[in-house]
Amino acid sequence: QFFVFCHGLLQLSQLLVSGYLKSSISTIERRYGLSSQTSGLLASFNEVGNTLLIVFVSYLGSRVHRPRLIGCGAILVSLAGFLMSLPHFITGPYEYDQSVASTFSNTTDLCQPRAPQAWANLSDASCTPHASRENHEVLLVMFVAQALLGIGGVPIQPFGISYIDDFASERNSPLYLGILFSVTVIGPGVAFMLGSAMLRFYVDIDKVGAAEVQLTNKDPRWVGAWWLGFLVAASLVALSALPYFFFPREMPKEVGEVLHTHTHLKMCPLVLPGFPVVLLRNLRHPVFLLVVLAQVNISAMVAGLATFMGKFLERQFSLTASLANMIIGAVNIPGAMVGIVVGGVILKRFQMSLRQCSALCVLGMLLCLLTALPLLFLGCPTQKVAGVTYWDSSGFGHHDMECNVQCQCPKSGFNPICGSNGVEYTSPCSAGCSTVSIHTDGSVLNYTRCSCIPGPAGFARPGTCGTGCSHLFVPFVVLSCLAGILASTSHTPSFMLILRSIQPEDKSFAVGIQFMLLRVLAWMPGPVLYGSAIDTTCMLWESRCDRRAACRYYDNTLFRRR
């Protein structure tokens, strides 16, 4: 029982490390200027290390000291977690354009007609060879960390489960495995809640005093303390790893009525010459093949959604990253858990045949499609952004438009403000604002004397205008949660279809193939495909050192549909 407890804790903290990255992905994109395609590849890169080794490890089976190997894997996972946060400590503080000169920069992004040379250093200052090298280092460290995370996670699940199954009594084994399964489902939810908590802090909380931070977490330039969660999760993994070095190689079997000698199914067919025969026999099995294909499709969708759902909510409904994570962790993931349980209960209650199992799967998916259909329409277009989504009659929108031609704005400036005319401008300079009034605590109250904003009182407030979509937010969350519940009811029946339609001696092997196919066809490409699709809807890219960095504005309607 102590082993089961330790294993539950370890699985939870391992999922915290891998799940936490998904919750802070939009923040990491903004901080290091990554496209969604790159961040999607990063998010699924742990599967690469995992897949390469899983067959080999399952084959080792009980020939090794399993607890010790789990411990070593956990140490690797913990190391990967600490590595993920390393970029924060090897790069300088986060820099952003600001209107008020501060201890960091004496430049401001107001319209200053008389100083053409002052601007040159703002846009090109960050473009030293060091800066572009730094970016490569950051990516390298993160990809290596993700690969290590995948490799370290390999022994944890298979060895833990086979160890428990070997030494637990017949009666208790299902209960223990059930506990572990529920932990793996809860894990991602906890990870998103951790993300929600950490992203409320400013990224450089350890480098600058609180008084010097002029951003609020609603500001489009805000970057939360993404690295903090990795430190928390990695420390938890390290703690959970310790007991594994003290468990014996074998335990006396737990007392309980033993009905027959229990042989544990391992993926041993790998050694036998019959390997290709068994493989083909299973792949030619129509039920097995069709169910696995269906699972591949839904898993690819889930993998993509898990990675970018937060980003979608942030952009579509103008939420903070923290709130978006809170919704996913507290509403969407628990919804999926409820669905899985309901599916299992229906199976048990009605003792379903194979045909009924497949009918239940089809029904769940059809109902899910019906609830998900309205989601295509629940959203608003991107707000009017001068020169990006909106051009007025005066030819506004070209970078050298009449109204701000005297300002000599840098192309890369980004500090959105919302004009009194309801149009958003990418910076005070691009709106031609020359005066700023400041609150006693150093934050910006508003901008005045803006030559591009019509009307006698052409003023603007700091921050984005927002999408004006808050009224659709609750219906969206309710429907997406419902769709998730309905889709996940088919989780257990689809597994049953596989397990019951295959010859008993191929069972564990078939499940091995199934997970292999899910990894290679769904969990790896899913986030990359989603990221690429999201990138195609970008309307304005940030440029860093002449390379395309993160996306500033998306076409929200296209983003939602794609």
Same domain, 203 and 288: no
- Yes or no: say if 518 and 296 are a contact pair by the CB < 8 Å rule: yes
Q: How many CB atoms lie within 10 A of CB 60?
A: 15
List pLDDT tens digits, range 183-241. 888 999 999 999 999 999 999 998 887 777 878 888 888 999 999 999 999 999 999 99
Tell me what pLDDT residue 116 has. Answer: 53
Domain that holds residue 70: 1-113+132-249
Q: For the chain, how many residues are written?
A: 562
Tell me what pLDDT residue 256 has. Answer: 65
Helix (H, G, I), strand (E, B) or coil at 24: coil
Element (H, E) at 17: helix 2-23
- Yes or no: say if 399 and 425 are a contact pair by the CB < 8 Å rule: no
How buried is residue 257: exposed, middle or buried, by Cβ count under 10 Å (0-12/13-18/19+)? exposed
Tell me what pLDDT residue 52 has. Answer: 77
How many structural domains are present in the chain? 3
Tell me what pLDDT residue 317 has. Answer: 93
Same domain, 237 and 91: yes
Residue 263 lies in a domain: no
Residue in this structure with the two tokens 């390379």, named with its chain if needed: 547
List pLDDT tens digits, range 22-79. 999 999 999 999 999 999 999 999 998 888 787 677 666 657 888 999 999 999 999 9
> Residues in the chain with pLDDT < 50?
119-124, 258-269, 271-273, 395, 397-400
Tell me what pLDDT residue 146 has. Answer: 96
- Yes or no: say if 100 and 442 are a contact pair by the CB < 8 Å rule: yes
Residue 217 lies in a domain: yes
Same domain, 137 and 237: yes
Amino acid at position 376, single letter: L
CA distances to 51, 320, 329, 460 from 449, in Å: 60, 30, 44, 9
CATH number of residue 477's parent domain? 1.20.1250.20
Same domain, 169 and 221: yes
Residue 121 lies in a domain: no
Same domain, 99 and 145: yes
Residue 228 lies in a domain: yes
Residue 261 lies in a domain: no
Tell me what pLDDT residue 34 has. Answer: 93
Same domain, 343 and 376: yes
Same domain, 203 and 236: yes
Same domain, 349 and 215: no
Residue 268 lies in a domain: no
3-state secondary structure 226-250: HHHHHHHHHHHHHHHHHHHHHCCCC
pTM of the full predicted structure?
0.87
Helix (H, G, I), strand (E, B) or coil at 446: strand
Same domain, 410 and 497: no
Element (H, E) at 295: helix 286-317
With a CB cutoff of 8 Å and minimum separation 6, the contacts of 326 are 192, 193, 196
Q: What are phi and psi of 458, to 5 degrees?
A: -75, 90
Tell me what pLDDT residue 243 has. Answer: 96
Same domain, 433 and 474: no
CA distance 339 to 265: 29
